[in-house]
Amino acid sequence: MKQAKVSIKLISAAMAGLFLCIAVFLPYQIFLNAGVWFANNSNPLVRYPGNVIYGDIVDANDILLAGTYNNSRSYIADEASRLSMAHVIGDANHTISGGVETTLSGYLLGFRTNAFKRLVQSFSGSPRQGDSIKLSLDIALNRCAASLFPKGKKGAIVILDYTTGEIRAMTDTPTFDLTHSASGLSVDAVVNRVTERLLPPGSVMKTVVYAAALQYLPHIEEETWTCIGNLPVESGTIVEAGGAAHGVVTLEQAYTVSCNVCFANLAMQLGWDKLIATAKQFGIGDELLTTDIRMATGGLIWLNKEDADKGRDEAFYRTLDGLAQTGIGQAKMLTTPMEMALIAAAIANGGVMMEPRLLTYVKEVGGGAVPIASTVLKRAVSAEVAAKLKAAMISAVADGTGKNAKVAGVTVGGKTGSAEWGEKPKENLTHSWFTGFIDDAAHPLAICVVVEEGGSGGDSAAVIARNALTEALRLGY
């Protein structure tokens, strides 16, 4: 009997503990994720809003991007603008789940308006009017960025203010016209390639490896490497692009010329744990919760179905071959253009990564404009490490592979990438990358450009980045 009483007390205590956990966890999750849950396509309030008129969406210069007329959603008249903004704005039918029509629908449908105003509207007999929102997006810059893609190529461009996280341009291709239904379109046409497309980063990954080396390898800046153009590693060989041999190089020199031999060596020296930990510091392979941007998260793909079917498990990834390839952004390393833009932004901002955002003001029905404050997402690296990375990125544009990204009148830092992909040699095609920033407090812009199967990063993506940043400066950013 005594033992039974003890057991009952233990069970009661355990149940009380569980209820306490639920009481704490549930409000926390509601506070953290309520906006994401509300904007989910399965929410009937979003899919079938009923007697509600969607609010307007305007860009940074108050140009109307989307409005409601005669119970129908209408978009900006200029076709090039509509095509450039299809994925970032999305559609009122919520086929594009990551567009602001969905992610900010709580405002646009009036569900974020205070209860008193909602009550007044409900007694007016008229349809409830949603709040209007102002975005940081500049449609003129967005339209220009979209026009820079080579004809027939898929790709993505994002430009943001690294001191505030405000997105000035976010566009990709292929796209679709918002005046037509998005249902039935191919995955290529509806996916937002800036935030959702996972690709091998190629040499832009060397920025993360550089950061890891500075943090974990004492005196690494005093070391040198001798590059003869190739590096045998277990069952494979790391080679330099175009058969180059860089000779004796320091860490910064190796980054400037994008030396594969050096960075493959660094990755092996660091090991998986330190490499992965640093990638997560920058948000790669780690969940990034943002207010109004839906983002896929990249990282190291340790095991895919093909590996499992062949019984390889994690064998390759735990070898020196896997480490060396990951150190130059190859193997199974995948990331998104937004993630890489945030890395460049954090480095330009002294190691502090701001939350990427589109929403700047909410104009409530019958009220004034409510500003939305910027938010720090995380400190990615120390100010000291960020300063060294910034200097290396500036060197890469001034004297290295990123020369084509130079912009007249300002200092640009950045890193190119030429990422091969494909299972067979004949299928290996190269994605062109550039990620970087303008080092100027008056023009705090970070950028990432990807052209899928676009060739060399220095020849394709860097040129697009230069032209996009030049236009951003012309527009006053």
Q: What is the pLDDT of residue 369?
A: 87
Residue of higher predicted confidence among 177 and 11? 177
Residue of higher predicted confidence among 292 and 473? 473
Whether 72 is covered by a domain: the verdict is no
For residue 171, name the pLDDT band (cuts at 50, 70, 90).
very high
Q: What is the pLDDT of residue 120?
A: 56
Whether 209 is covered by a domain: the verdict is yes
Number of structural domains (the chain) is 1
* C-alpha to C-alpha distances, 150 to 78, 337, 363, 372, 450, nearest whole angstrom: 21, 17, 38, 36, 11
Whether 71 is covered by a domain: the verdict is no
Whether 141 is covered by a domain: the verdict is no
Whether 235 is covered by a domain: the verdict is yes
Least confident of 41-45, 266-270, 380-384: 41-45
Give residue 220's domain range.
202-357+364-474
Q: What is the pLDDT of residues 370-388, one digit of tens each?
A: 999 999 999 999 999 999 9
Q: What is the pLDDT of residue 303?
A: 39
Alpha helical stretches, state H, 115-270: 115-124, 139-147, 187-190, 206-216, 251-257, 260-270
Rounded to the nearest integer, the mean pLDDT of the chain is 85
User: Given phi > 0 = left and psi -120 to 50 = alpha, else beta, which region is 143?
Assistant: alpha
Residue of higher predicted confidence among 122 and 387? 387
- Assign residue 423 the CATH number of its domain: 3.40.710.10
Q: What is the pLDDT of residues 93-104, one digit of tens each?
A: 877 878 999 999
Edge to edge, the sheet with strand 132-135 lists 72-75, 64-69, 57-58, 132-135, 359-363, 369-371
Q: What is the pLDDT of residue 25?
A: 44
pLDDT winner (highest mean) among 103-107, 114-118, 132-136? 132-136
Q: What is the pLDDT of residues 318-329, one digit of tens each?
A: 678 888 999 999
Strands of 223-356, DSSP E: 225-227, 230-233, 236-239, 247-249, 299-300, 333-334, 352-354
Q: What is the pLDDT of residue 16?
A: 59
At 143, is the secondary structure helix, strand, or coil? helix
Q: What is the pLDDT of residue 236?
A: 84
